[in-house]
Structure 1
Amino acid sequence: MPLHVPPAPAPALRTVLTALGSPTAVREARTPSLRMAQGPVTPELPLPVHVLDRITPAGASATRLAGWRFLIRCGERAVAAADTMLTPDGWAFSRFFEGPYITATEHALRQAETMQQSYQARLLSVPELYMLTLWLHGDCAADGATGHPVATDLLVPLAPAPPGIAAHRPHRVAELLPVLTHRVTPAPTPAPLMSSPA
């Protein structure tokens, strides 16, 4: 089934195109792959990046939109990514970067294309676990910038995933959220030991 990529806000895309057209922005990006790219580079596959701020006692997730991420393609592969963020003045370019999440995102998107059900692609970041997942939302017509993971959505942890969580294995939100809740909940402080009377 086709994977739906929600349309990014036009001003966010413009900021990335402007940054790509600026030799100074590219040179200062500290992304060797982007600086050494041979041929034209294009921003593709815009994905809204949501951050999991907390998990409520009832097990619901509180998420917020952090920005939009574009994969920067040169030829047949993505060589970097560009992040944008919403500011009081509108959408702004944030940064170029590269690393393992670029390849992992491409891999997870190819995996999702082979699934039987259609999904809308998003990214969900879990900062407390240094974890990024491809969030496959079941409502393909939804506004990609809003909403929360629902029990039947899928989360695909991207490599490198935290220890004990398999990368690139799709998990239903209802299955993975309790694991994440357990990981991000601080352990209770043990009661002090009572000293025995002398």
Structure 2
Amino acid sequence: MTHGSTSRSRARFGRGFGRLLAPVAVAGLLLAATGCSSSHHDSAQATIAKLGKVPIPSAPASPIVPTAAPGHAQLVAMGDPVQVDLGNQQARITATGPDLANAAPAQGAKPADSSPGTVTVTLSVPAGSLPLTADTLTADDELGHPIPLTADTQAATAAPGHDAVVHLSGTFGVGHATLTWSSAGKPLATWDFEVELD
């Protein structure tokens, strides 16, 4: 009987001891977690203090204009300007358009597969003068076929305060196309554009 009583006492003591240890273990875990968090926070703050704040890069105040030179042509999107370095002459040239004649089709109607349109090319110079001639401007469709162009003038001359402007009319098919300006038979700038009529 005494032996049985001792066993029960030990069993009760074991359960009671476990109940006493549980809160102590939980408190220990909480203290350890708090210490880790604080240490990690302090470590991050110390790293920031050592390195300083990293500046966030901002966009340039004005877009970067690519420079074309003989043997170094530029490909840009339609509407983007190109700086031109011809050695003894500096210039800037821009092509815009095409301004298409066909409006969007009526609801349910099939869209046209081409449209008459006009591209405008503008050349400016800070000093001196530079001619812009229609025969130095060519257009190609997405298959590389030439797009016939008719110019409103065969030549215009840019001078400081007076831009040379040439309007080129043609029929532009739906899809991708390019306009290229060449000097001495070599391309200097090519504008890439898409014709959509839907």
**Same fold at TM > 0.5:** no
Question: If the length of structure 1 is used for normalisation, what is the TM-score?
Answer: 0.24
> Of Structure 1 and Structure 2, which has the larger fraction of its residues in strand?
2
Q: Higher Cα Rg: structure 1 or 2? A: 2
